[in-house]
Structure 1
Amino acid sequence: MEVSTLKLLKTLVVATALTLAAPFSLAQAAEVKIGYVSVAEILKSAPQAEAASKRLEKEFAPRQRGLVEAQKKLRQSEEKLSKDSAVMGESQRRSLEGDIRNQARELKRTSDEFREDFNMRRNEELGKFQKEVLEVINGVAKEEGFDLIVNDGATLYVSPQVDVTKKVLGRLTSK
């Protein structure tokens, strides 16, 4: 009987403690200030994102033009083969087919390198921009007393009262 009395007493003590602590935790929860930032809107609207895009375009435009020219040359060779193969000699046709295979192989290699280099540079630019955005968000959060800022990654509903996206964009624009 003593064991069950102790268990009952222990349960009553825990229940009483939880009952007494509940109003305090609710009061603390009511004081939490939450904000929201739309990262998608920032990536779309911030001048830094547009500037990074222009830098990438300028840096990679010559290589992209070279790829377009190589594709055009390959297409012309393929058209020549399909159009003239009936009147070509065997060795001439085999030579052109070999050239086409080499051009296609080189184009694929060059395209893969281009894509890899472009993605690497885009990720560098995006990383710099994300760091800058995070600094601005942290600044807004500290200055305005936010306890938590959430983004659009897993947010289902946002009241306009807690949306600080425009403030963040304003600061990014003024930088």
Structure 2
Amino acid sequence: MKRLWMVLVVGIGLLLPAMAQDPPQIVVFDSSIVFDKSQQGEVLKAEIERLRDRKVQLISERQDGLASMQEEFRNKELTFNDDTRSEMLQTINQAQIELKRLNDDAQRELQAEFNRAQQKLQKQLIQVVEALGQEGNYTLIVEKGLTLYSSAEVDITDRVLAKFDEMYPNTAGSGGGQ
């Protein structure tokens, strides 16, 4: 019995200082908003869009070339001898293969560029959240998408966005931000 009382007294003694401390501060933020609205996010998004536009233009030019070859073949098919017809079909087939390869390469390149940009932003965001956590004396900062519910009172997305732009201003040199 004495042992039980001793354990209770020691336990209460250990809990009292912990209870006297400030309550834990748990906050959330929405990383997708930070990625979309940050200066760095806007610059990287603009770079990816420019790359996509260049690829779309190149693919469109190749599609137009293929379409004109196919049209020429349809218009003159009856006048071709067998060898010419075979060569023309082979050229069209090769152009179709090259167009498909170009399209696949463009998709892979765009996906790789998107992944690179996302990884860069993710690394920066981790540093921002750590700095903000220390400055704000937060106990826990959670990504909003990982929570089932959070009150608007604990949402610090605007603060994370402001800190992100403070720590990583638009330095990409392309001037894609607003």
CA RMSD, 1 decimal? 3.0
Deviations 1:87-117 (A, max 9, x none): 5433332222111110011112222222222
Counterpart AA for 1:73 = G
Distance in 2 between residues matched to 1:110 and 1:137, nearest whole Å: 40
Give the counterpart of 2:128 among 127, 136, 156.
Answer: 136
Distance in 1 between residues matched to 2:48 and 2:36, nearest whole Å: 16
Deviations 1:103-155 (A, max 9, x none): 01111222222222222222112211111112111111111111111113322
Which secondary structure does the structure 2 equivalent of 1:85 belong to?
Answer: helix
Which secondary structure does the structure 2 equivalent of 1:157 belong to?
Answer: coil
Seen in structure 2, the aligned counterparts of structure 1 residues 75 and 27 have a Cα distance that, compared at 3 Å, is: farther
Counterpart of 1:44? 36
* Cα drift, residue 159 of structure 1: 0.6
Which secondary structure does the structure 1 equivalent of 2:145 belong to?
Answer: coil
Counterpart of 1:108? 100
CA contact (8 A) 1:77 1:100 kept: yes
CA contact (8 A) 2:133 2:141 kept: yes
Distance in 2 between residues matched to 1:137 and 1:101, nearest whole Å: 53
1:92 maps to 2:76: no
Counterpart of 2:141? 149
Unaligned regions of 5+ residues in structure 1, if any? 1-8
* Cα drift, residue 82 of structure 1: 3.7
1:173 maps to 2:165: yes
Distance in 2 between residues matched to 1:139 and 1:75, nearest whole Å: 56
Counterpart AA for 2:164 = L
Distance in 1 between residues matched to 2:92 and 2:144, nearest whole Å: 48
Counterpart of 1:125? 117
Counterpart of 2:174? none
Seen in structure 2, the aligned counterparts of structure 1 residues 155 and 74 have a Cα distance that, compared at 3 Å, is: same
CA contact (8 A) 1:40 1:152 kept: no
Deviations 1:17-74 (A, max 9, x none): 7xx77xx49959x822111011121122112111012223345544442222111111
| Number of residue equivalences | 160
Give the fraction of aligned pairs with identical amino acids, expressed as a percent.
22
Q: TM-score, normalised by structure 2?
A: 0.73
Structure ID, larger Rg: 1
Distance in 2 between residues matched to 1:27 and 1:94, nearest whole Å: 87
Unaligned regions of 5+ residues in structure 2, if any? 170-178
Distance in 2 between residues matched to 1:48 and 1:35, nearest whole Å: 23
